[in-house]
Amino acid sequence: MQQRQLIIFVLFITITYATQINYFDAQADVQFLPDPITIFANLIQLWTDVTDCPSSACTCQVKANVTSDNDIYPVKFSSEKPNIGSVDIDDLQPNTLYSFTISCIGTTQTITRYIRTGYGHPSKPHNITIILNSKRLKLSWSPPLLPAGPINNYRLTIDQQPIIDNIPKNQFSYDMTEDYIYGQTHIFFLQACNINRQNHSICSNPNDGNVIFPMPITTTLSQGATTPKSSSCILSCSKFLLIFIFFCFFLFN
């Protein structure tokens, strides 16, 4: 009877003081962060609250499906608040769903979270072309091959002029508002942009979307001069042929 009571007492003590994972998520309960949600394009910072650890310090780890080997990341606990820990999972891909599972020494309890990374920098707009449509240049493009999230808008800079950043996400062309001056060279910088979780605009590299439209004036002049030269040559040849025929007529008669 006494042995049975001792076993029950030991079980009671074990259950009472077993490690408990109270919280695990990508949201920090700290005041120094401007945004408690710690989800970024290439990094997720996970926070946990663990109590009743079996030793003076909690020992936990997070398994993430970052690679096929399921990488393991140790949790770092605060010296000021020993029950609060965090872990940084980096080298992630933008706008991608990952799984994270925490486990701690002293308990068989685990918590799994499925979290999608934030939006990142998209690649440049695809198939950028420029044509002279009537008297004005028209710039056309296709969406980026690697958007890294839903495209929010397009941003265009022409000849280092003020940026045009209000081009809608479903618009894939832009017409210049002024007539083209022949012989003038224009430089265009086209970017695709996302809005991340922190409400910041993140855009593709402007140099990747750099295109130039040159039209030398000498080419236009040479093309325009082709027709008069050809007409003059034909007229001269015709006169020479008539004179030759007239001369032969009198020579053989």
pLDDT tens-digit series, residues 101-147: 999 999 999 999 999 999 999 999 999 999 998 889 999 999 999 99
Among 211, 5, 28, 238, residue whose Cα is nearest residue 126: 211
List the chain domain ranges. Answer: 2-116, 126-218
User: What was the pLDDT predicted at 54?
Assistant: 80
Residue 8 has pLDDT above 70, yes or no: no
Residue scoring higher pLDDT (34 or 60) = 60
Contact indicator for 176, 158 with CB cutoff of 8 Å: yes
Q: Which residues contact 72 (CB under 8 A, 6 or more apart)?
A: 61, 62, 63
CA separation for the pair 196, 41 (Å, rounded): 8
Q: Which residues pair with 140 in a beta bridge?
A: 129, 173
Residue 220 has pLDDT above 80, yes or no: no
- Quick check: do 2-116 and 126-218 share a fold? yes
The top-scoring range by mean pLDDT among 11-25, 58-72, 158-172, 225-239 is 158-172
pLDDT tens-digit series, residues 200-212: 999 999 999 999 9
Give mean pLDDT, residues 29-36.
Answer: 63
What strand order describes the sheet that includes 44-51? Answer: 20-25, 44-51, 84-89, 76-77
- Pair of tokens at residue 178: 């002024």
Range in 23-37, 98-112, 195-209 with the lowest mean pLDDT: 23-37
Orientation angle between helical segments 217-224 and 226-251, nearest 10 degrees: 30
Backbone angles phi, psi at 207, to 5 degrees: -70, -25
Q: Which residues pair with 39 in a beta bridge?
A: 44
pLDDT tens-digit series, residues 45-91: 999 999 998 877 899 999 999 887 779 999 999 888 889 999 999 99
Query: What separation in angstroms does the CA of 233 have from each of 225, 239, 240?
Result: 13, 10, 11
Range in 32-41, 119-128, 176-185, 217-226 with the lowest mean pLDDT: 217-226
Residue 5 has pLDDT above 80, yes or no: no
Query: What is the assigned CATH class of domain 126-218?
Result: mainly beta
CA separation for the pair 152, 123 (Å, rounded): 13
CA separation for the pair 35, 197 (Å, rounded): 9
Instruction: Domain 2-116: give its CATH superfamily.
Output: Immunoglobulins (2.60.40.10)
Q: How many helices (H) and strands (E) does the chain have?
A: 3, 16
String of DSSP letters for 107-153: ---EEEEEEE----PPPPPEEEEEEEETTEEEEEEE--SS-SS---E
CA separation for the pair 129, 132 (Å, rounded): 10
Contact indicator for 102, 60 with CB cutoff of 8 Å: yes
Kindly report whether the global pTM for this prediction surpasses the value 0.95.
no
Give mean pLDDT, residues 188-215.
Answer: 92
